[in-house]
Structure 1
Amino acid sequence: SPRGEGWRWLEQAQADLRWARHLNEQGAYYLVCFLAQQAAEKALKAFLYAQGEELVVGHSVRQLCKRAAEYDTRFRHYLNDWGVLDSYYIPTRYPNGLPDDIPARVYNLQAAEGALTLAEAVVAEIESWFAATGTKGEAPGGGVG
């Protein structure tokens, strides 16, 4: 079901977020920033799959948020804030995005905590939507959707 597929994506987003928190405690800030972006991306994809979209492509949190706003206008309010996470998709992983340095040295606690805060907001918003509209793989009203 679309809702079941959405739930699978949300579960992975939640797992990414848990690992991001753990890695933050270990000081792997560049990985925290990347996983925060991934958690937000997957949470938004969860919402889109739950709407019945069959193939959700792209990695931009901002663009996925814009698509989500086509189903629920409240997502328009998050475009700019959540879109900041897009800046963590590539530079956190590849040295060629950072002249004369590497991600492991550039990203710090402040960046990681900011990324975590944004990702937590995205995941919480999607969790709230799922909670308000039914549970896990079920459609509202208890039937399998």
Structure 2
Amino acid sequence: MRRVSDWFRQSLRNLKSAEVNFEGELYEEVCFESHQAAEKALKALLNSLGIERRGHSLTFLLREVSGRGIEVPNDVSECSLMLDKHYIPSRYPDVFDEGAPMDYYSRRDGEECLRCARRIVEWVKGFVREYLQEV
């Protein structure tokens, strides 16, 4: 069963959460939600191709996409690599010797994560548009 719209709509919800967290200066949350938005967008794309994948690595998900003959732009690949680096550290204090993730994330980190999430979501939207209603 294809659930392209479900995956993509939730991706947009995560992107909105990242934007709200940015306004609240919760930059570690911005980076995590940005990763989630990109992950769910990529899973929507894979689902549109009849593929269901588990896992959270954007880089791995993009390999699946490119393996299906879809050309992945360099900036989308670079954004995926960058966002993958935030999946764990943005949430868990024990990643660092001391301090919490909030102590390690800056406005610049949040801006970069949001930029990348938006880029990936927009790129995916071009492929899955036919499955979406009023998104």
> Same fold by TM-score, threshold 0.5 exceeded?
yes
Q: How does 1:101-120 map to 2 (within 5 A)?
A: 101-120=99-118
Supply the distance in 1 between the matched residues of 2:9 and 2:77 (Cα, whole angstroms): 23
Question: Cα RMSD over matched residues?
Answer: 1.5
CA contact (8 A) 2:38 2:58 kept: yes
Q: Which amino acid aligns with 1:60?
A: S
Supply the distance in 2 between the matched residues of 1:88 and 1:49 (Cα, whole angstroms): 24
Instruction: Give the equivalent residue in structure 2 for 1:66.
Output: 63
CA contact (8 A) 2:91 2:101 kept: yes
Larger radius of gyration: 1
CA contact (8 A) 1:37 1:86 kept: yes
Q: How does 1:71-110 map to 2 (within 5 A)?
A: 71-75=68-72, 77=74, 78-110=76-108
> Which secondary structure state, in structure 1, belongs to the residue aligned with residue 98 of structure 2?
coil
Supply the distance in 2 between the matched residues of 1:22 and 1:56 (Cα, whole angstroms): 28
Unaligned runs of 5+ in 1: 138-145
1:129 aligned to 122, 127, 130, which one? 127
> Which secondary structure state, in structure 2, belongs to the residue aligned with residue 73 of structure 1?
coil
Number of equivalenced pairs: 132
Instruction: Give the equivalent residue in structure 2 for 1:142.
Output: none
Moved more, 30-39 or 98-107: 98-107
Supply the distance in 1 between the matched residues of 2:128 and 2:35 (Cα, whole angstroms): 20
Instruction: Give the equivalent residue in structure 2 for 1:26.
Output: 24
Supply the distance in 2 between the matched residues of 1:119 and 1:76 (Cα, whole angstroms): 14
CA contact (8 A) 2:44 2:128 kept: no
C-alpha distance after superposition, 1:88-111 (max 9, x if no partner):
100000001111121011111000
Q: Which amino acid aligns with 2:132?
A: K
Identity of aligned residues (%): 29
Report the CA distance between 1:135 and its aligned residue: 4.2
Say if 1:59 and 1:120 are closer, same or farther in 2 by CA, change over 3 A. same
Instruction: Give the equivalent residue in structure 2 for 1:140.
Output: none
Q: Which amino acid aligns with 1:136?
A: L
CA contact (8 A) 1:34 1:88 kept: yes
C-alpha distance after superposition, 1:21-67 (max 9, x if no partner):
011000110000000001001100010011111x3111001111111
Unaligned runs of 5+ in 2: none
